[in-house]
Amino acid sequence: MASRMCDSVLVTGSNRGIGLELVRQLVDSPSSPLQIFAGCRDPNGPRAQELQELAQKHQDVITVVQLDTTSLASIADASKLVEAKLNGRGLNLIINNAGVNIPGSLAETGKREMVDVFTTNVVGPMLIAKNFHPLLCKAAAQFPHQTSMSSSRSAVVNVSTLLSSITRCPENFSISPMYPYRVSKAALNMLTCCLAEDFKKDGILVMSLHPGWVQTEMGGPQAPLATAESVSGMMKVITSLTEKDSGTLLDWEGKNIPW
């Protein structure tokens, strides 16, 4: 039997798109985690039906957690619930997947658009990392003889995008201007760098991951990658992360993207 990829994982925004597929592939994997916390902002709403059905089928592994990443109260409640369910153990892996994009040419973008997208794409992952930090530390400390970092020990994966890359902006800006999205994801990358430095002492790996251009509501039907293909690549990258990957931006094939 394959060794477990990690004991426990939290995925935010897991009721549809890449997040739902992450939960599906995590639970179907021969090295499935023991506990999967599937964060979702409206677990009883119509958009969570598929996730609820999946959780029903795997009641022993999947816990659906109400988690609106823009709400401090929701994050605090979710971290308490996860802590209780972990029963004294730490949380190994957080995948900050929840994100938003809106049409974003300069003409379409005002203060509200910038602030709303920033709140979900940057403030959310920051508050999640901060609130779950004690549980990540606890997970890292469960490996007293291990000094290296990995996703099976303790890690935060921030789902970013190629469009966050300042270096690559001149070649893809005209295809997708997206001011709020690009700026917020570039800030998310800086959050990754800050957290990677800050959490190094705790043995927690932090990185940004680009899933490719994927057929989801956000990516649209013309995207070249099926959700399953993107997520299977993401899973391979996540399970093979080592110390050298902390504080980097990789794509779903494991290739480095310049900031």
CB atoms within 10 A of CB 124: 24
* Three-class SS state of 40: strand
What is the smallest separation between the CB atom of 208 and ligand NDP, expressed in angstroms? 10
Q: Are strands 35-40 and 93-96 parallel, antiparallel or unpaired?
A: unpaired
With respect to ligand NDP, which residue has the nearer C-beta, 29 or 70?
70
Determine if 104 is a binding residue for ligand NDP (CB under 6 A): no
Determine if 165 is a binding residue for ligand NDP (CB under 6 A): no
Residue among 27, 114, 194, 223 that touches ligand NDP (CB under 6 A): 223
Integer Cα distance of 105 and 85 in angstroms: 44
Determine if 197 is a binding residue for ligand NDP (CB under 6 A): no
Q: What is the DSSP letter of 142?
A: T
Determine if 47 is a binding residue for ligand NDP (CB under 6 A): yes
Residue among 69, 150, 189, 248 that touches ligand NDP (CB under 6 A): 69
Integer Cα distance of 226 and 8 in angstroms: 26
Tokens encoding 182: 């690009």
Determine if 138 is a binding residue for ligand NDP (CB under 6 A): no
**Phi, psi values for residue 41, rounded to 5°:** -80, -20
Residue among 33, 90, 99, 233 that touches ligand NDP (CB under 6 A): 99
**Length of the chain in terms of residues written:** 259
Residue among 118, 132, 199, 213 that touches ligand NDP (CB under 6 A): 213
Q: Which stretch binds ligand NDP (CB under 6 A): 29-37, 41-49, 87-95, 195-203?
A: 41-49
Integer Rg of the chain from CA: 17
Residue among 36, 75, 93, 98 that touches ligand NDP (CB under 6 A): 98
Strand partners, 256: 250
Cβ distance 158 to 187 under 8 Å? no
What is the smallest separation between the CB atom of 88 and ligand NDP, expressed in angstroms? 27
**What residues contact residue 245 under an 8 Å CB cut-off, 6+ apart?**
205, 207
With respect to ligand NDP, which residue has the nearer C-beta, 46 or 144?
46
Determine if 157 is a binding residue for ligand NDP (CB under 6 A): no
With respect to ligand NDP, which residue has the nearer C-beta, 98 or 195?
98
Instruction: State the amino acid at position 48 in one-letter form.
Output: A
Count of H-run helices and E-run strands, the chain: 8, 7
What is the smallest separation between the CB atom of 250 and ligand NDP, expressed in angstroms? 13
Interface residues with ligand NDP (CB under 6 A) are: 12-13, 15-19, 41-42, 47, 67-70, 97-100, 120, 124, 159, 161, 210-211, 213-214, 216-219, 223
